[in-house]
Structure 1
Amino acid sequence: MHALRQTWHPGCFLCAACKKPFGNSLFHMEDGEPYCERDYITLFSTKCHGCDFPVEAGDKFIEALGHTWHDTCFICAVCHVNLEGQPFYSKKDKPLCKKHAHAINV
């Protein structure tokens, strides 16, 4: 097989992290090293603080409280109302709407 301007035996072109061969699967590059999709996401992707899934290119996201959130995941920790573009408060690193800003159990 041909990849990265080299010729490889199919069993020799491996993910830099898990060392499994790619076969015909897609791979991602980081710092000149090839990674399988699973390891690339685990090691290098930005994950949403609300759902822990990757924030991918083209996704709408919000940076708040020192974290990255999908726009649909940035919700009040009590009532789950979406806080995108709304004033919000924070308690124990959790976003809160104005109504629940002084909630006791967050």
Structure 2
Amino acid sequence: MQCASCKEPLETTCFYWDKKLYCKYDYEKLFAVKCGGCFEAIAPNEFVMQAQKSVYHLSCFYCCVYE
């Protein structure tokens, strides 16, 4: 088996999306929810803060007022 994106062999783990298999790196790059602060992937088991339509790592979220 190989990753549908990078074509590298899937040796230990794989992720499934839309009937295709992906390595962890490509799956996160293509499909993972991204933090609105740092734009890095948010793991499914992480606690997050949601504001309007954005999701943030707890450490990336802060309130500010724009005038």
Cross-structure match for 1:20: 8
Q: If the length of structure 1 is used for normalisation, what is the TM-score? A: 0.56
Q: Which amino acid aligns with 1:19?
A: K
Provide closer, same or farther for how the CA distance between residues 20 and 61 of structure 1 changes in structure 2, counting only shifts above 3 A: same
Q: Which runs of 5+ in 2 are unaligned?
A: none
Q: Which runs of 5+ in 1 are unaligned?
A: 1-12, 76-82, 84-95
Distance across 2 between alignment mates of 1:20 and 1:102: 46
More divergent stretch after superposition (42-51 vs 55-64): 55-64
Higher RCO (C-alpha under 8 Å, 6+ residues apart): 2
Distance across 2 between alignment mates of 1:44 and 1:70: 17
Q: Which runs of 4+ in 1 moved over 3 A?
A: none
Q: Figure out how many residues of one structure are paired with residues of the other and give that number.
A: 67
Shift of 1:65: 4.0
Provide closer, same or farther for how the CA distance between residues 40 and 102 of structure 1 changes in structure 2, counting only shifts above 3 A: closer
Distance across 2 between alignment mates of 1:52 and 1:102: 21
Provide closer, same or farther for how the CA distance between residues 74 and 14 of structure 1 changes in structure 2, counting only shifts above 3 A: same
User: Aligned match of 1:46 in 12, 33, 41?
Assistant: 33
Q: Which amino acid aligns with 1:69?
A: Y
Identity %: 30
What RMSD, in angstroms, separates the aligned Cα atoms of the two structures?
1.6
Shift of 1:52: 1.8
Q: If the length of structure 2 is used for normalisation, what is the TM-score? A: 0.82
The structure that has the greater radius of gyration is: 1
Cross-structure match for 1:69: 56
